[in-house]
Chains A and B, each alone.
Chain A
Amino acid sequence: GENVEQHPSTLSVQEGDSAVIKCTYSDSASNYFPWYKQELGKRPQLIIDIRSNVGEKKDQRIAVTLNKTAKHFSLHITETQPEDSAVYFCAASEAGTYKYIFGTGTRLKVLA
């Protein structure tokens, strides 16, 4: 089955700096890679996703890149703000199913 590894587990950045979170996956047949943001005490919510036929996708200050050859994808947040502080999870679809396998999460702290 699919396995997803996520790094780093914690990340602190100064407000206005960029943050990058990286994930690797094991199943080359995976074709969908969502990113979820979870604020303290809240439910996870989708912030951006990418499909395997696309190399990069942007939405305002966030972007995701995918390298299928290396089987890794990354979340990039530019001009970080205090409200970006949260736990971020990557996930990869398991081929042939409706399941997603999640990474272990990255706690991002944006320091004012």
Chain B
Amino acid sequence: NAGVTQTPKFQVLKTGQSMTLQCAQDMNHNSMYWYRQDPGMGLRLIYYSASEGTTDKGEVPNGYNVSRLNKREFSLRLESAAPSQTSVYFCASSEQIRGSEQYFGPGTRLTVT
């Protein structure tokens, strides 16, 4: 039982390049989330998927797109990376029950130069 996994662990991009961050969970959770973590800013929600087939914007969605590929996988895409997107990205999942624990992946450290 791997829990929540993310790839890659580290990535360096040049401004304007694109990339997709991958996330998968094996806990049969319905809900999945993407956060970014910046110093002094806490965890800010980018997008989330309450259940397979649905996605919704969070607090900071600009510059990102998501795909809920199936129940297990939820990807985050940066179409044209900008230095402001330098951050640590965490994926999380939870049961589709309000007030349930979110389980986080190990994170992806992204640097955009």
Contacts and interface: CB of A to CB of B under 8 A. Distances in A.
Interface residues of A, number: 24
A43 B107 contact: yes
Interface of B: 31, 33, 35, 40-45, 48, 50, 56, 58-59, 90, 94, 96, 98-99, 101-102, 104-107
Interface stretch (A12-20, A62-70, A77-85, A99-107): A99-107
A107 to B, nearest CB: 10
Interface in A1-42: 6, 9, 31-32, 34, 42
Contacts of A93: 98-99
A98 B54 CA distance: 12
* Secondary structure class of chain A's binding surface, majority of residues: strand
Nearest to A46: B101
B23 to A, nearest CB: 12
Contacts of A99: 33, 45, 48, 58
Contacts of A97: 50, 56, 98
Contacts of A9: 40
Given A32-B98, A51-B99, A93-B99, A102 B43 contact: yes
Chain B CB count within 10 A is highest, among A42, A100, A103, for A100
A98 B42 contact: no
A49 B58 CA distance: 22
B34 to A, nearest CB: 12
B45 to A, nearest CB: 6
B40 A104 contact: yes
A107 B41 CA distance: 12
Contacts of A91: 43
